[in-house]
Amino acid sequence: MSKQKNPPAYGGQAVVEGVMFGGKRNYVTAIRRNDGSINFFKLPRKADTKLAAFKKIPFLRGILAIIEASANGTKHLNFSSERYELDPADDETLEKEEKKGSGLSMFFSIAAIGVLSFLFSKFVFTLVPVFLAELTRPVFSSDTAQIAVESLFKLILLLSYIYFLSMTPLIKRVFQYHGAEHKVINCYEQNLPITVENVQKQSRLHYRCGSSFILFTIIVGMFVYLLVPTDPLWVRILDRVALIPVVLGISFEVLQLTNKVRHIPGLKVLGYPGLWLQLLTTKEPKNDQVEVAIESFNELLRMEEISAENRQPSHVVI
C-alpha cells in the first residue's frame, strides 16, 4: 500500500510496561499487567478555548505543547508505575484509596509535578554546563569559544545521562516500548495493516520524537546564545534562564520543520541528529511489547472515531 498523503499526526509516549498514544480528542495508555492481561487508562483531551488561539502562534505553540505533554504524560506514567506490578485483584482497593485522596486534586497535583519536573531538569541541563564551561575560561576566553564548550558539555551530559539510565533493566524496557511506539506510528503512516509482523518491519526511529526535540534545544541554544554575552557569569546565568522559553519555542518549530521535509531528498538530513540520539532512547521491542502498543493505538483510533461521531470539540497539539 502507498503512504497516506496527510495522515492524522498521532503522538505517543512509552510508560512502564506500556505505551500511551494521543489523538485530537483522547489519550489512551495500554499496559501489560503481571498476569499477562492488558489494561487501559483513558482520558479525554480537553479543549481549552482560551488557549486555542495561542496554540496556532509559531514559537509560542511549542511551549504550550511541551507543558501539555509534560502534564498529561506524567498522569499516564503514574498510572502505569502504580499498576504494572500490582495484582489486578487489588485494583479496586487502589481506586478506593485514590478516591479518598480526592481524585481531582490528586489528578492536577500529578500534572503539576510533571511540568515542574520538566522545568527542573531543563534548568539543570542548562545551567550545569555554564559552570563547567566557565572553568575553562582561562583556556577558552572568547564568547564564541565559551558557547561552543558549553554546548559540548551539555551534549556530553545528555548522552551520559541517557546511556547510564538505559543500562537499568526498567528503563531498558521503557526504551523498548518507546521503539514499539515509533514502529506502530511508522506502520500507520505507511498505510499498512497494523499487525505485529508489519509493525516489527518498521524503523524504531521517528522524526517527530521528543528525543529529537531535546537534541535540537542544544543545537538551537548554541546559536541563540551567540546573541548575548557570556561575561560576567551572573549575566550569563540570567541570559540562559531568560532564554529557555525562546530556545524551546524555536526548537519545537525546527522539529516540526524536519518532520515536514523528511521525504525531500537533501533536506531529510536536517533530522538526522535527532534520529541518531534515538538510537540511545529506543530499543528494538519484543513481539509481546509490540502487541501492547498495537492495543493502545487501536483503542485510541476507536475512541477518536466515537468522539468524532459525537462531534466533541477538539484541538491538535503534536
pLDDT confidence tier of residue 178, bands split at 50, 70 and 90:
very high
Domain membership flag for residue 183 = yes
- Assess whether pLDDT exceeds 60 at residue 288: yes
Range of the domain at 187: 11-309
- Residue 28 Ramachandran class (φ > 0 left, ψ -120 to 50 alpha, else beta): beta
Whether 46 maps to a domain, the answer reads yes
Whether residue 5 is contained in a domain is answered as no
Percent of the chain with pLDDT over 90: 50
Question: Has residue 184 got a pLDDT over 70?
Answer: yes
Specify if 6 maps to a domain: no
Residue 203 has pLDDT above 90, yes or no: yes
- Note the pLDDT of residue 274: 92
Confidence of residue 25 (pLDDT cuts 50, 70, 90): confident
Q: What pLDDT digit, counting tens, does each position of 100-144 carry?
A: 555 545 444 545 555 566 667 777 888 999 999 999 999 999 999
Question: Taking the model in full, what pTM does it have?
Answer: 0.83
- In the chain, what percentage of residues exceed pLDDT 70? 80
Return the closest-CA partner of residue 216 out of 163, 168, 166, 254. 254
Please check whether residue 1 lies inside any domain of the structure.
no
Report the pLDDT value the prediction gives residue 316, as an integer from 0 to 100: 36
> Whole-angstrom Cα distance, residue 87 to residue 76?
18
Domain count, the chain: 1
- Average confidence (pLDDT) over 167-180: 93
52 found inside a domain: yes
Torsion of CA 14, 16, 22, 28, to 10 degrees: 150
Q: Is residue 316 part of a domain?
A: no
Rounded CA gap, 63 and 65, in Å? 5
Residues 91-106, buried b or exposed e (16+ Cβ, 10 A)? eeeeeeeeeeeeeeee
List strands edge to edge, sheet with 18-22: 11-15, 18-22, 26-32, 38-44
Selection from 160, 132, 136 nearest residue 237 by Cα: 132
Q: Is residue 4 in a domain?
A: no
171 or 89: which leads in pLDDT = 171
